[in-house]
Amino acid sequence: MSLLEAILQKKQRLRSSETLVTLPSGQIYRETLLDGITTVSLVQNVSSPGYVVDTKPDFSVSHILTHLCMGSQDVVQDQALLLQHKITHVLSIGVPAVGLVAEFETLFIEALDLPETDLIPVLEKSIAFIDHARDVQGRVFVHCNAGVSRSASVIIGYLIKEGMSFIHAYQYLKERRKVVNPNEGFISQLKKYEATLKKQNPI
């Protein structure tokens, strides 16, 4: 058997593979490898910036715990409102707070509102920042774009870390901010996060 024949025979034994690729824009492509040839096709053409679109101003501040509040990015545009609610720290998930005065301690964490976004590093940084604010008797305002998915996931993760179950944390938050609705990928990761904490701290 010649080298060329061996290569062709081996190539014929290669299994085809298929991969879905989601871009930050929300477009989903299918990459298919068959007989050594990769083809790309558009599966879903959604004009999405990777977060829940904020269609109208929302200046509501939802108080979750003594040291913890949440809402939309609109709130951080009104510094008088932040001061009115005794906010000292601002945690921005995926959407940076612009123009805040120096008296606010801020942290920006990059995160797209997509199911495949790795939520765990976001949670770890967020929880450390929230705990820091609590330790200095501060109050944190957590926001993303609309205060629906990313910031809600961070709050739920924090409540789980504080000892609540996922279900309890979700219901507790929903009672205080009815519009919260983490994407399915975040919900799955939060449930796994709860399971991991239970293994680390068995009762």
- Say if residue 31 is in the same domain as residue 117: no
Phi (first) and psi of residue 17, to 5 degrees:
-135, 155
| Alpha-carbon gap, residue 32 to 34, rounded angstroms | 6
Residue 22 sits in which domain range? Answer: 3-44
Residues of the chain with pLDDT > 70, as a percent, come to 72
CA distance 49 to 189: 21
Residue 94 has pLDDT above 70, yes or no: yes
Range of weakest confidence among 19-28, 137-146, 151-160: 19-28
144 is catalytic: yes
Residues 19 and 117 occupy one common structural domain: no
| 107 and 149 both lie in a single domain | yes
Whether 53 is in a domain gets the answer no
Can you spell out the DSSP letters for 121-143?
A: HHHHHHHHHHHHHHHTT--EEEE
Residue 191 and residue 116 in one domain: yes
Both 33 and 105 in one domain: the answer is: no
By DSSP bridging, strand 28-34 and strand 17-22 are antiparallel
* Catalytic option among 76, 122, 140, 144: 144
Pairwise CA distance, residues 127 & 121, whole Å: 10
| pLDDT tens for each residue of 16-43 | 556 555 555 555 666 666 655 556 566 5
> How many domains in the chain?
2
Contact in structure between 152 and 176 (CB atoms under 8 Å): no
Return the pLDDT at 97.
87
Residue 72 and residue 12 in one domain: no
Do residues 67 and 38 share a domain?
Answer: no
Compute the C-alpha angle 149/51/178, nearest 5°. Answer: 30
- State the pLDDT at residue 35: 59
Q: C-alpha angle with apex 148: 146 to 153, nearest 5 degrees?
A: 130
Residues 35 and 67 reside in one and the same domain: no
Q: Quick check: pTM over 0.85?
A: no
